[in-house]
Structure 1
Amino acid sequence: MTSTWRRLGASLLVTAVGAAGLVAAAPAGPKGTASGGPANTTSSGLRTGPVTTWGAADDIAGGTLGDMTVRNILRTSVGGTDLRIRISNANGDQPLVTDSVYVGRQAIGAAVVPGTSRRLTFGGSTTVTIPPGAMALSDPLPGPVPALTSLTVSLHVVGSTGVITAHNRAMQHSYKSTAGDHAADESSTPYRTESSAWYFLNAAIVDAPRPVQTVAALGDSITSSVGSTIDTNRRWPDVLANRYAQLPEPRRLGVSNEGISGNRVLGGIAKAGSAGASALARLDQDVLTKPGVRTVLALEGINDIYAGATADELIAGYRQLIARVHASGRCIAGGTLTPVGGSFVYTPEKEATRQAVNAFIRTSGEFDAVVDFDAATRDPADPSRLAPAYDGGDGLHPNDAGSAAMGQAPDLDALRCQ
C-alpha cells in the first residue's frame, strides 16, 4: 500500500455512539452548521461537528411520482447524535414538495421497528418545498444514532414530482406506497411496490467528535457494487465501513458511497436515461459538499475507456480531480481499475489503455494514496480477467466475494487525511 499524505493535523480521540438504536429524544442543544461550521460540545467536553454517515450520488429515475410515500432504506457507517437528512431535488424540473418525512429503524423489508419512527422537520415546519436544482437539510433529530444500522426514511410526495432525483441500482430495495401519506405507518402494509432506487436522499449526517472523518468512494457501478446481493449490504464500501467499525475508536472513519452505475470521469451532465453527471461535473455536489468528507477514494475510468477515451485523456481527468480535491483542503486516493477481460468492454487495445492508466495511478505519486483494487481482484493465471471466484458472471462486475476482496484492499490508516 502506497501512502503519502500532504496536509492537515493529527488525529484526536474519536468517541463512538453505542448500539442502542434510534431512540427517544435527548435534550436539544445549540447546533452548528451542516457544512462544518461552529462546533458543539458533548457532555464530556469533546467538540463535535457534522459528519456524513451515509451518502448517495444524485441521478435521475424514470417516470414521475404523485401523492404517494416512498420508504428508503439506508445503512449508517459511523455512529453519532442529532441525525439530519439531506433531501435532493438536484435534477428535478419542478419544485419537490413533501409534508411528511419520518425516520425509524428497519425491521424487515418495508416494516419499521415499532416505536422507533420519528418525524423530521425543516426549519421547524413539517412541510418543505425544494426548488429544482436545490436540496433541503432537516433539523437535527435529538438522540443517538448507532453505527452499522439500517434506517427507514419515509417521505410523502405532495402533488407530482416531475423529473425524479434518485440513485439507481442502489443494490437495496426501497418501497412505494399506495396513494396518500403513509410515512408514519410503521407496518409494511401500504408499501406494495419494490424499487431498486433510493428516492431523493442525498446524505444522512450525524454530529460526532471533531476527529471523525468520512471517506467518499467516487466511482461507477463497481463502487455501487452492481453484482453484489441486493439488500445484504455487501458492497465493497460497506465492507470497508465494517472494517472501520472494528477498529479502536481513534482510527474509525465513516464511508459514503458516491458510485453511479455507468458513470465516467469525463463527459457531461445528468439527463434522463444517463449514467449521471460525470465525476468532474458532480464532484462538488456529490462529494465536497458532504459534511465531514476529508478523503476521496476515486475508482473510475472503465466506462471512459469503453467509450473510447485514451490513457492521456483519462489521466488529464484524474489530474483535475486531484487538483480540485487538494484545492479544497482534502486528500484523494486513487483506485486501480479492476480487470475487464471476458466482458463487453474488453479489446486488446482497451486493455492496453487500462494498464497504462493503472501504471499512472500506481507510480505517478500524484494521488495521496493508492488502493490496488486490480491486484486484489485479478486472476493470477490471466491478469486481464477477474479471478473466477470473484466474477459476478459478466467478466466486469465483482460478486459478493469480489466485493469483499475489494473492501479488504485499502489500508485503513492510509485513508485518514492528515
Structure 2
Amino acid sequence: MPRPTRTIHVALADGDRVWVDDDGRLPTFLDDPEADGPTATATASRLLTDAVHLAPVVVLDDVRRLHVVGARGGAPDGGGWMAPYELPDDLGGAVATALDEHAGPPLAGRPDWYAPGWHDEVEAWIDAALARSGRTRTGALRVHRVWSISAVHTVATDRGPVWFKASCAHFGAEAAIVGVLAAHLPDLVPEVIAVERSRSWLLTEPLVGVSDDGAPAAAAEALATRWAQAQIGSVAWLDELRAAGAPDRGLEATLTAWRQALATNPELDELDAAERSALARAVPVVESRLRDLWACGFPDTLGHGDLHAGNVAFDGAHARIFDWSDGCVTHPFLDGTHLAHWIGEDSGDVAGIVRAVLAPWREAFPAADFERAVELAPLADLVFQTVTFDQIAGAGEPGTGDLDGVVVMLTRKVLASAATPA
C-alpha cells in the first residue's frame, strides 16, 4: 500500500537550544515516501545548514516525524534560538529527550553514527584512505540516508565524489564481506577504496546507473546468468566469506531462527484466532518443505539475501550489486527467485523466467532435483526474509518504526504459500 505523505519537523540543535523561525516554530517540510528525490534524512540534514542527525528519527504519529540534527556548517540566517521546553505541542519533550540521550551514555541498540564525534572520526579515516589513492577530500560528509540499519554518505573529493557506508552492529560484517567479494567478483560489486572491518566502514567509488526508482528489468536480465555463475564459483571460497563474518543462513540455522521469530516477535500478536490456528498447522508443513529444498542436491553458496531492483546499479549494459547487509551463506535459489520475480513483474510467465534464471544450476548439478527446488524456493525465501526482519528488529533500538509490520506481513504470506499444494 502507498505510504502517506509525512510532515517532517527539523530541530537544529546548538547545545541545549534549537533554532526556530520568526514565528517560534520548528521548520518543516513534506516528504512523500513514494516520490523520487532525496531521502527525508538527506533533506533534513541540509534544510537549514549542513547538519548531521544526533538521534534516530522520532515517530510522533502516523504522519509526523521529528529529525533532531546538529549543525556542522554554521548557523542559519533569520529566526533565532529557543529552549526545547518553549516549543509548542508535543515537540519540546521529544527534542529535549533526544538531546539528553545524545549527550549521555550510549543506548542499547543505537548505532554509532548518532554519537558525539563520530563524523569527525569517519572523516579522518576517509582522509587517510583517500591519501593512499592520491585524492583529497574537499567537503564534509553529506547525508544520503541514515537510519537504524546503516549510514550512507557522499564525500566530495578533488577527483569527484565517493561513497561511504557504515553498518549497524547486526550487519557488522558487511564491509568485510564486500572486501572479499571485490577480490573475487570485481565486476559485480562496488569498486572498493578502503574497508575498516572492525567498525564496518566501507568507502567505494560511485556506482553508475543507481536510480531511486530501482534498476529496470533489463538489469535483472543482464545480471541473472552472471549471478548464478558467480554463486557457483563462490563454492570454492566460502571459507573466506565465513572468515569475514558472513553468517550461516542454511537450513538448520534458518529453521531455528524462524521458530524463534514465531515464538517471540510481538508483531504476531496481530494474528487473529483463525490465523494462529493456521500457523500452528503450517509450521510442520513449512519445515518439511524447507528440508525437501535443501535435500534437492544443491550446495549452500554466496547469497545476497535481498536481491531486488533497489540494490542493483545498471549503466545500460552492466549491472553491479550493492547493499550487502544481508550477505550470507545460504541456498542459491533464494536469490534466483528474487531475480526471477523482478524480471517477471510485468510478465505472465514467472515460472518460465525462474527456470531460465536458475538454468546454470541445472547444468552445474545435473543429478540434483532442479524442478522440485524451483517449486520450493519461493516459500523458503519467505521464511528467510521473515528471519531477516525479525533479527533486525530484535537487534536494533526499539521504537524507530523503520520496519514495523514486515514480520506479520511475511508470516501471512507464508501461511498462504503453505496452504498451496507443493
- TM-score range (shorter-chain normalised) is under 0.3
Normalising by structure 2, what TM-score? 0.27
Specify which structure has the higher proportion of strand: 1
Which protein has greater RCO, CA pairs closer than 8 Å, 6+ apart? 1
Normalising by structure 1, what TM-score? 0.27
Specify which structure has the higher proportion of helix: 2
